Structure 1
Amino acid sequence: MAGNTNAATNFYDANFIPNTWKSHYSRLSECAGIVLAGRCKACYGDLEELIPIPNGLSGDDLFQAIYDTMQTAHPYAQTSEHIDYYGICDERNEFYRRRDKSSQFQRSKKFLELFHDYDREQARLWLEKTFPPQKHTEVLRDTGGSLFCSVIRMAKEAGEFAKAESILDYVLPCEHEDSIHDKVKLTAYEFDFQPILNYGCEGIYIDCYLAGKFDESGRFRLHVGTLKTLKRDAETAKIMGELCGLLLHYASEYVNSNLHRYTPDKDLEREYQRQLEQEAKGTLAEEGNCND
């Protein structure tokens, strides 16, 4: 079908069954669109369709364009005011119907999954501003890598990262260093942030881990990011050691300031039920005062 637009379009129209949204970008500023991914109805192989977004967008405008595209695009399906989605692939039509019926919180979680760890905090802040959570249990979670990136951001904003930054070769959250996308969502706060300093074969590394309970998986250690310098002298070792202390400090400050985002789901549900009970008691008390 190479070079034959109609043949490719007809094939996708007949066989493309979407099941999720993805993004393929190196830098957010270079994001040209989002990808609707799925399988082939004929052979069950992977298929993807790129949905473009306008060029030259940034900040809130870029997030809004990505969000709107994710919520409204429906390639290879037609719509009608009277019969909803229609076309020759019922499975594809049903995918779009499920999307349209999903709650705002479900939409926000799907949107957040599009972004790399180092963009996740910015995307989350935009979501919380644009679509504030409606219930105590609606929490947009950090990942191990996004926590690492938030700690780096705090150190930079405090003006305490510049000395180390001048000698660093790279700063990478775990998903990019390992070439994997194991975006572990943090649903517990009983962990320690551990920056560990080591000499490697070509410089000095700080490998950052979470040690303790960070989710319900049963694992107790998670690699979240690495900072590396190519230098190996004593002065560099002192700078990297000081950086370990700074990362430890800002990680503690960040987590303690955002404990709600790390609270286990069952605890959030209990807290929410207590809130509802207190509100109900308050309503009854007000009604009793009015009757008096």
Structure 2
Amino acid sequence: MSFATASHLPTPQVVGILGGMGPAAGADFVRLFVQACTARMEALGIPVHDQAYPEHWLAQVPIPDRTAALHDTRPGAHQPADPMLQATGRLAALGARVVAIACNTAHAWHGILQQRFPQMLVLHGVQEVVADLSARGVRGVGLLATRGAYDAGLYQRELERARIDCFVPQDHEQEQLMQGIYDGVKAGNYPLARQRFEAVAIALHERYGVSTLIMGCTEIPLALSEQPRLQGMALVNPSVVLASALAHHAYGATAPAF
């Protein structure tokens, strides 16, 4: 492709990724975003090359545990809102026009981020997932998530609005998921994580007959994959959906005009 042709290509928007929750999930989200950008360029007929990818910034900062904060709502250093706001401010200063939050449970603070930074579009990953499910005609799902996400009703509320039935694990199964997240992925013990996640996925499938499962924590897809034991189940990775939405906005989907 000539430089003259390249100069006439539309310039994609600068976008940001709020990560650090945990770091492995933030790094994986960047990989998914680059893949989504490649697919978006191919769909738009844009020649794929290094210079055609959008400027994107990852704010990989230490942010207090989101589930713990939802269970202890007293003000203090254990609350994640302030570091999330500070990191989003850095992304805004770098020119980001659209931001994705690389954590499901952190969407409990989506409203305060969007309110504080009205000049940017802060994508709502949960809403993006539910819209995708609705568009595909899915009418019932099982939800694998953190206790914080369950207790806050992050997915349940949005799924109910879309008239999609949501089935959640029993208390002891939620504890298995938390073990897989904290003692498994976050501690680097992926075999333990895979065992815990698979066990709960199979329990939901057998108990409720659901064949679509939302992996509603960014750590879960890092350990859970299409294994023979999970045949017949469709695993929805919210990070893939959100990365695709961010790529759409980067290449000219509807975004605020200022």
Same fold (TM over 0.5): no
From the two aligned structures, give the one with the greater strand fraction.
Answer: 1
From the two aligned structures, give the one with the greater helix fraction.
Answer: 2
Structure number with greater CO (CA < 8 Å, separation at least 6) is 2
Asked which structure has the greater CA Rg, the reply is 1
